[in-house]
Amino acid sequence: MKTLARLLATFFGAGLFPFAPGTFASLWAALIFKLLVSELSWLFQIGAIVVLFFVGVWASGRHAVELGRKDPRPVVIDEVCGQWISLLAAPPTWGFAAAGFVLFRAFDVVKPFPIRRLEALPSGWGIMADDVLAGLYAAAVMQIYIALQ
């Protein structure tokens, strides 16, 4: 089970990228979403995100314990989940994929209120929750932009 948790928490090794593993995983997540997931029904997209979230809570929490750190750098399944959330309701274009990537990374790095507070949740919940909210913030900005067009 340790190997499975590590494989999932690092998003199949993306978290082992030597620099900026969170950004690298977010980029991969945006590409996967754009090329594969966005072509599927909304119900499937939402289901995939929900499953990814709960798998992420388990895998990130378990792998964090294994590494002896609260939110280890190699754990990037949270970035994948947040990135997919940011793209969920956006048109499946390269422009929106890029905007979702930039907005998600900005919210994930800056952590406006109350994102940072969510990191205090226990174990995998804290690892995942802050990126979910960053993804929701990015999605909200994109939806406002779409509504104003």
- Token look-up 């995100």 returns 49
pLDDT band, residue 44 (cuts 50/70/90): very high
* Contact criterion met (CB below 8 Å) for 99 and 140: no
Domain count, the chain: 1
pLDDT in tens, 19-42: 999 999 999 999 999 999 988 899
pLDDT band, residue 91 (cuts 50/70/90): very high
In a domain, 2, yes or no: no
Closest to 82 (Cα-Cα) out of 48, 44, 130, 123: 130
In a domain, 23, yes or no: no
Tokens of 30: 């945006």
According to the model, what pLDDT value does residue 131 have? Answer: 97
* Contact criterion met (CB below 8 Å) for 31 and 92: no
Residue 91 sits in which domain range?
A: 28-33+40-148
In a domain, 62, yes or no: yes
Question: What predicted TM-score, i.e. pTM, was given to this entire model?
Answer: 0.95
In a domain, 85, yes or no: yes
